[in-house]
Every structure is written in C-alpha cells, then in structure tokens.
Structure 1
Amino acid sequence: MENGCRWIDGSITQSNCVKGFYWTIEGPPVFPSSPSGVFNASFPDYGFGSTSTTDGISEQRTWSARHEDRVEFDLTFSTFAPILLNGGFGFFESRNTTVYEWSMPADLTRGWITVNGTRLAVDPARSLTWYDRQWGGAPPGWSWFELHLENPDQDYDVPMSVWVWEETGAAAGLATIREERDVQKVVPVTSLVRSKRTLSISSVRPDQEMVAEGGLLPTHGGYITISGVYQGNRTVEGYGLVELEIVTSDAL
C-alpha cells in the first residue's frame, strides 16, 4: 500500500500456461482490521479477511469478482497444521531490518476458482493453502522458499520457510522447519555449497515471473518441485513455491 493505492497480483499455473493478473485499487486509506483487531480488507471487487469478527486465525476467506480480468475465485481456508514462527519467535534480523513473519503452512481449503469462464471446484481432500503474514521490512535481494517435504508418517507434510538474502557481499539466511506438531527448529543458512543434505528445487515452468504495470514490484513467484536428501539419510520429494527479488551481486 502506498499513497492510498493497493496493489494486488497473482497467477494461476496450469500445465500449458500461466495466467497472471494484476490490478491497482485507488481510494482513501482502508485499515486492514476491525475494531476487534481481526484482519479484514474489503474492496468493491475483492476481499480478504477472517470469517469471524472475534477470531482472526481459525478461518479466513479471500474472493475476487474481477470480471474484466477473467479470473474470479472464492476460497475459504481454516487452520490445520501448527503455525510456523519464522526465526523461532516470529521475527529475525536482516542487515538493519527486523522482519516479522508467521506462517500457517497447511490450511484446509474449500471453494472455487473461475478461469476464462470455466469454474473449477476445489477438492478439500487434495488442496491446501499456505497463508503467510509478514511486516516490518524485507531482506535485501531476497529469495524465499515455501517448501513441503512429503511425509507419510504424519497427517501433513513437513513445512519449511526458507529465506536467503545478500548480506555484505555474501549469502545469509535461515530455515524455519516444523518436523512434528510440537517441534520447531531454526537452521541458519551459512553456505550454498552442495552437500549430502542438499534439496534440488525445480520450477515447473520457465515463465512464472510477475511484473506489475509500470514495472512495479518485479518478482518471480512460481510453483516448484523438490527432490533430494533430508537429514543426511532420507530421500525425499516435495513441492512448494519460490519468490525471488532482483539480486545486486554474485553472492547469491
């Protein structure tokens, strides 16, 4: 949000194409909370917020009625897996910036989405939503990975929130991992050298970059697949999303 404007962007990835959408909403300031402190951002043709006036966590809904963009959706998601507190306590330091972030990595999802006139129903048994709240700044030249390592031994896959950024000409970062419901750990990213615990991440398509009108907020946000070795001896596969900001050196 800047100067009374709100930017909303996103994309829908299919096997044969990527459908991107972007729009700007101008008007008086809209406060993203109700008097109770529950998040709720509502506009004439878009909304995102809690379904409750008192509980801002358990269930949320996002919807779009942008007929001109030929992308409409109405999705409701509710908390299932434990929340990730990035950095261990919900914040971490990057250069001179404190980044605050918590993540709901595997929310149960229901609803529908319409693309080019075709409505598709969401299968709750095969769907999830990663809902992420971040404020207070961002690392410089950042790469952020939302990862899910498939884990048949529990009722949700292992979620990871991984940050890598440029710090005085070198790579820095951290990974916040929830291996069990009551176990969260934070691992520093101190080296990008390939090891016996390396995960290989691949983009499913080469054309997932999102650039807003006028060149604002250029990022790459794309669906990815994962394969490799976890914890030194466990072969894993997985899936997720990556967001990349433009980097300014060869450190990353």
Structure 2
Amino acid sequence: MNLFVAAFAWIVDPAHWTAGPDISGHLLEHLAVSGLCVLIAVAIALPIGVAIGHTGRGRGAAILISNVARALPTLGLLSILILLLGIGLLPITVVLVILAIPPMLAGAYAGIESVDRQTIDAARALGMTEWQIIVRVEIPLALPLLIGGLRATALQVIATLGIASAFAFGGLGIYLINGLATADYTQLLGGAILITALALVVDGVLALVQRFVIPRGVVIGRSTADGPQKRARAPRPRALQEGMQS
C-alpha cells in the first residue's frame, strides 16, 4: 500500500510535470504515436472489413490473418524489424499497426454483417446502388460495433506502446524501463498507473461516442424472454427513400 501511495505522490509531484523530460511531454508523445498507429490501422482494416461484411466473401481468410497477427510475439517482431529497419519510430509503428488491425477488422466486418438483410433488400428495391447501401444504410447501422472495434484497437496500441521504450523510444513507457533499470519501483508503478489511466480515459471517451452514434430512428428494444438485449429495428422503406433523396 505504501508503494501505491508513493507512486501517486510521484505522479502529482509538480517537478515531474515541469522539468523536462516531464510527464506531460511523454504523455503527448504517447498519445501522438498511438493516434498515428490507430489511424493507419483504421485506414487499412476498415475498408477491408466493410467489403467483407457487405459481400460475405473472404471472412475465413480475414479470421485466419487476424488470429495469426494476434499470435505474433510483440517483442520478437519488434526486435526483427529493428534489425532490418534500424532503431526509430518506423519499426515501432509497423509492429503496432500489425497488432491493431485484427480488432478493427473484426469490428468492421461483424458490424456490417449484423445489419438486417431485409433492410438491405429494401434499400436495393428502392434503387440504391451498392455504394449507397454501404454509406447510407450499413455503416450508420453498424456504427456501434465499428466504434467497439476502434476501442479495442486503441487499447491494444496504448498498452503495447509502453514496451517500445525498451527500444529507444520515449512515451510513458520510459518510466517503466527507467524504473526497472534503476530498481526505482515508485517510478515503475507510477508509469504503469499513467499508462492505465490514459487507456481508461481514451476508452471512456470512445464508450461515450459509441453510446451516441446510434442513428436517429433506430429503436433500441429489450427482449423480455431472453433477457436484456439491444436490437436495432430496420428502418422503414420511407426512411430509406428519404435517405436517397437527401
């Protein structure tokens, strides 16, 4: 318990927030690199996941690739890339993107697949093109699951980035490495608390976004027979027709 008290005292010490390299600088660095990796992962995984969910093709291959990516040892892969590319941000970014793609890919195709097929058939009957169906019907209805995949991706990147400090990178993980190297367990625990707090804050923000991205007109119901369940009812054809005209 005394160690936790000392760790929190170390975190709130003004000297650690003003004297460089300070906590605020490492925090911004951690956020910047995490955001970059998440954006790259989303840019790669989201279109692929949407295409798989819309067409129903390639789902087995996507699951296989995701499982292989999850099984890769982070430190081992990072060590190999550093030998090939040298020490720097590039190998760290590549490793984090590889680890971040599976949860985003899973959230994307699962979200699109969850859309009621009758809704899609109604959209086609109204003359919507496949692209219009994806943009105006499937993605809006799948947004909660898409944001869920984004939450898992962000947590994966923020947590894993802490170990990158062992390879000449800053971020909040530098406190883990320095604390371990100098047997300064107060700094070690303080760094772990900071990374955990950052992950929880980001997850909380995305959870709020996930709560409010349900499209207007989609009813969230409950099943009394099977227990509490969230169910998105298909929009009526009139609503789809209004979406085409807008």
TM-score surpassing 0.5? no
Whose helix proportion is higher, 1 or 2?
2
TM-score, normalised relative to structure 2: 0.23
Structure of higher CA gyration radius: 2
